[in-house]
Every structure is written in C-alpha cells, then in structure tokens.
Chains A and B, each alone.
Chain A
Amino acid sequence: MEEAALRVVVLALIGGGAWLAVAWWQRRPLAGSVLLPAGVTLVTGPGCSMCGPVEQALRRAGVEPRLSQVDAVELSGSSIRSLPAALVVDDRGTVVMRRSGRAALDDAEALADRWRRISAETSA
C-alpha cells in the first residue's frame, strides 16, 4: 500500500514537472519578441461588436488605444465572436490593469485614469 502511494507521488511529480517545464519554455524570452508598448492596448478579434464602443469610450476618456487584432479561430459551422480586452501597460512592459468584455466599456474611464497616473509618475 505504501509503495502504491509512493508511485502516486512519483506520477504527481512527473506530471507537475512536465507542467513546470512547459510553463518555463512557453515564457522564455524569444529573440524577436517585444514587450507590449507602454499605453493602453485594445485587443480585438473577429465578430467583436463591443470593440468599437470600447475604443470610442477610451478616446472619450482621453487615451488613444493601440489596437491589436487577433486572428480568427476556425470552428466547424460557426465563427467565434470575440470580446474586447483592454490592457494598461507601464513603461517596463508590465500589464498593470486589464478589463475584458463589458467591464472594458464600463471601466474605460478607470483604464484611462490608470494610464494617466503611470504617465505622470514616469515623467515626474
């Protein structure tokens, strides 16, 4: 019985090790990779009916979002309808605030405000 329990632990270690190895591999910096530019990035996709209103709301709030288009996902018999994702990125390329879907629209002012505070801190 103890040996079986030990083998379960071995399996968990192997499975966990594989996950960690892949996580490390996926997050490795690539030679051609670039950080997200500082500012507000709006990730849009196919069939995104809410992306336009979010873009306009961000402009009204005083920020010019950088648009990033994600390719279509192929589905059988239908196409995916994507939601907007708004990311506030600081000057180190770190995403400091993110809102997706309806929250991106509702929090457009908060996203813009966060970016203004980051800009002010950076220029100070």
Chain B
Amino acid sequence: MTAPAAVVDVNVPRFNQAMVAVLLAVGFVVQWWPLVGLAAAILAATRFGGPRWGLFTRGYLRWIRPRLNGPIATEEANPPRFAQLLGTAFLALATGLFLTGWTAAGWGVALIVFALALLAATTRICVGCLIYQRAVS
C-alpha cells in the first residue's frame, strides 16, 4: 500500500509566488538588489526549513487563511515544491551575479523569475510544476 501523496492548500504557493513577484518588482524599480537576495533567502528557508520557516506561508496562514470562507482546494505538494526549488536556485544565481558585479545579468535572471512568479500567481500556470510533471510522467 502506498502512502497518500502530500497535499498543500493551493493558495500557499500562489501567495508565495505573488510575494516573490512583488519583492522582485520593488527591488528592480528602486534598483536595490538585496531584495532579490532576500527573496532567495525566504524561498530557501521555506523549501528547506518547512512552512514554519516560511515567512510568506506564515503570513498567509495567519492573516489571509482565516478570512477565507468555504472549503479550500488542495493540490499535490511536490510540483510546487520543485518550482520553489527552481526559484530558489535562480534567485541564488541572480544574487551571485550581483555580488560579482554582473548587475545586468543578475537583473535579467531575477526578471525571468519575476515573470514566472507573476504568471503563476495570477493564472495558476506554474512552469516549474509543469517541468516536474513532465519529468515524473
């Protein structure tokens, strides 16, 4: 007998993606790259430390989830986790590029993550999740 697949509230990844998009957008507009590093750190803490260390996840569970009425849809947890890992890797790469003086390249990578995070948050089309589903099928 196989164990049931772990599931996650569908709003948790969406909220995380929305917050990442906002952080990256603000960082780009004010040209302050440490916000990219901050987004990478928050994603990494959530991915490797669990929801307890996830700043955005905790914010969602504390302030938004109690205000939602009715049943909450769930989805398999592995695809968004993989997408989160990809996002962390790309934002870490962008941070490394900033630290080594490759500012334009750093913003290029960060803006790719911004576009994908915005897309996932607004349309639920999660490219990282699609890559995961392709890989396991």
Contact = CB atoms under 8 A, between A and B. Distances in A.
Interface of A: 4, 7-8, 10-11, 14-15, 17-19, 22, 26, 73-78
Interface in B57-97: 70-74
Interface of B: 7, 9, 25, 28-31, 70-74, 111, 114-116, 118-119, 122-123, 125
Contact of A76 (B25, B29, B73): B73
B17 to A, nearest CB: 12
Given A75-B72, A76-B72, A18 B30 contact: no
Given A19-B123, A22-B123, A74-B74, A7 B31 contact: yes
Most B C-beta atoms less than 10 A away, residue of A4, A11, A74: A11
A14 B71 contact: no
A8 to B, nearest CB: 6
B29 A17 contact: no
Nearest to A25: B125
Contacts of B9: 76
A11 B74 contact: no
A14 B74 contact: no
Nearest to A12: B25
Nearest to A23: B123
A4 B32 CA distance: 12
29 contacts: A4-B30, A7-B28, A7-B29, A8-B29, A10-B28, A10-B111, A11-B25, A11-B28, A11-B114, A14-B114, A14-B115, A15-B114, A15-B115, A17-B115, A18-B116, A18-B118, A18-B119, A22-B119, A22-B125, A26-B125, A73-B73, A74-B73, A74-B74, A75-B73, A76-B7, A76-B9, A76-B72, A78-B70, A78-B71
B29 A4 contact: yes
B125 A14 contact: no
Given A11-B28, A11-B29, A77 B115 contact: no
